[in-house]
Chain A
Amino acid sequence: MASSITKGPLLRIVTARGYSQVAPVNGIANYDLKTTTLTNKLVVVAAENESALTRISVTFRAGSRYETSDNLGAVHVIRTAAGLSTKNASQFAIIRNIQQVGASLTATADRETISYTLEGTRKAVEQVLPFLKEVATEQVFKPWELSELGDRLKIDLAVRPLQLRALDLLHKAAYRTGLGNSQFVPKFQIGKLSCETLQHYVANTFTSSRAAVVGFGIDSSSLTQFAQSLNLEPNEGVSNPSPYKGGEIRSDKGGDFAFVAIAGEGAAVNNPKEALAAAVLQNVLSAGPQLKWSTNDNGVIPRALGGTDGYSVRGINASYKDTGLVGILLAVPAKSAKKIVPGAVNAFKSASVTDADVNRGKNLLKTSLLSELESGSTAAQVYGAQAALTGTALSAEEVASVVDSVSASDVNSVLQKARKNISIASVGNLADVPYADDL
């Protein structure tokens, strides 16, 4: 009896020690990705990076672009509702059990996807994995719990920085509906989204053909087993093509600064080469200061504007399933907006990109992509979004090699396409910010 008790644990200790001698705590950086597609079209991406931590992310193609005028803000509410009572587990049980083993569960949403990520030591994740399944797929949205979310939604709205609102309005100007939907619930919708509305949204978007399960620090077979246990409808769900339209939106908020987002149509994610060329263009335009406390970098836009007036400029790039945005985000002191905003628009419209610029952009992009994919929860979320949108996941080496193959002419053609029809969104003190048709 006593001898048989020690058998199991002893073996486990030996394998655990084996891991700890081979791999660093963070896991190895050049892990292999194993992508499988289940019969119900659910994509499973497993990466055994031998880390002491496990990250599992369940991602659905259910971002705010799939909202309609009736359920505007549903995604924000669903994201905030992660952790509320589900079909088989109460709010109390979910929170306490995950806390007790020291794991953490987060929900993140963007315009395309919403993802639930469970993170913790291997043993902890193994214990609370059923709660990830509950939170991600078995929502019930009890009305009395939903009604308590109002304050949290209001805080989310209140702490949005103006830069973020400029980007939100840029999408609205560029796409109007679909991708133009804000990632945040409009104030007039707080408390109006009923549990039926949310259930309906979940039923139409949380389906197996729109889902991806990504696991780091877990072997492929146990991740596949978990993915198979998810109880998801196999239907296609809603689709929402969102063509680029272009336009201008201004929102006067007062203050000392004006935040102006200027962008044109970028590249879709289903064409990796063009998407990465757009990402290179973002870094070419301006990657922001790379040294702490330094001012603007040597990007195309700051070079054209000169280094005075205490403004800041950063390239922006977003790739969605069927379209994208690429451009710049300006933060200017209200008084110097009259000079800098037209200057930046002119620079964006007329700048020429040299080989040296492209090389610098490629190096900056490669550094940021590779460090993002090195390990950790960001990698799980990046791969989750990739797998949910395209059905595959490009490994870090593949991404790096595609970035290497981007040429100056690729970047120039993305820039030409973006220049054709630009959108402008400005927030803050707009007294001296010119209107788009005056530029």
Chain B
Amino acid sequence: MAVSLVQKRFMSSALQKWAYQLSGFNKYGLHRDDLLHENEDVKVALKRLPQDVVDQRNYRLLRATQLSIQKDILPKNQWTKLEDDKLYLTPLVEDVIREREEQEEWNKNY
């Protein structure tokens, strides 16, 4: 989260790209939202994704695991580019958190 905020507010696009390359996960063909820690909120959000998006995510995760086992990375032309890395899950996770907080707030008051 914090990384993406810093990216949005303070970095030029060239600097953003450089930082993205430096982070390294793109060499495994992963997207930023593939790295979210699967807590309860993320699990609920994953259920709300269309099936094809879930399938693509699972494919990327499996491929990355396989590469990691083989101590390998993808050929450079298959690395994820910042432009292709859409935040497909974050908005849903934010919704889930908002709903959960609303329920906690209600339970506190009534």
Contact = CB atoms under 8 A, between A and B. Distances in A.
14 contacts: A90-B99, A90-B102, A92-B99, A92-B102, A92-B103, A92-B106, A93-B102, A93-B106, A96-B106, A96-B110, A142-B48, A143-B50, A144-B47, A144-B48
Interface string B70-101: 00000000000000000000000000000100
B110 A100 contact: yes
A143 B48 contact: yes
A90 B100 CA distance: 11
Interface in A194-252: none
A244 to B, nearest CB: 44
Given A90-B102, A144-B47, 14 more contacts: A90-B99, A92-B99, A92-B102, A92-B103, A92-B106, A93-B102, A93-B106, A96-B106, A96-B110, A100-B110, A142-B48, A143-B48, A143-B50, A144-B48
A90 B101 CA distance: 12
A143 B106 CA distance: 25
A219 B50 CA distance: 47
Interface of A is mostly: helix
Contacts of A143: 48, 50
Interface in A90-108: 90, 92-93, 96, 100
Nearest to B100: A92
Contacts of B106: 92-93, 96
Contacts of A144: 47-48
The 6 closest A-B pairs by CB, nearest first: A144-B48, A90-B99, A92-B103, A96-B106, A92-B102, A90-B102
Which of A93, A142, A144 has its CB near the most chain B CB atoms (within 10 A)?
A: A144
A100 B47 CA distance: 30
Contacts of A100: 110
Interface residues of A, number: 8
Contacts of B48: 142-144
Nearest to B45: A144
A407 B10 CA distance: 84
Nearest to B92: A144
Interface string A77-98: 0000000000000101100100
A52 to B, nearest CB: 24
A350 to B, nearest CB: 61
B44 to A, nearest CB: 9
A211 B23 CA distance: 56
A42 B21 CA distance: 58
Nearest to A99: B110
Interface in B40-85: 47-48, 50
A87 to B, nearest CB: 13
A58 to B, nearest CB: 25
A128 B102 CA distance: 17
Contacts of B102: 90, 92-93
A144 B54 CA distance: 14
A342 B78 CA distance: 77
Interface string A250-293: 00000000000000000000000000000000000000000000
A337 B9 CA distance: 80
Contacts of A92: 99, 102-103, 106
Contacts of A142: 48
Contacts of B103: 92
A225 B50 CA distance: 41
Nearest to A100: B110
B9 to A, nearest CB: 28
Nearest to B47: A144
Nearest to B49: A144
Interface string A141-161: 011100000000000000000
Nearest to A97: B106
Contacts of A93: 102, 106
A219 B76 CA distance: 71
Contacts of B99: 90, 92
Nearest to B103: A92
Contacts of A90: 99, 102
A376 to B, nearest CB: 29
Interface string A319-356: 00000000000000000000000000000000000000
A90 B95 CA distance: 10
B109 to A, nearest CB: 10
Contacts of B50: 143
Contacts of A96: 106, 110
A90 B97 CA distance: 12
A92 B47 CA distance: 18
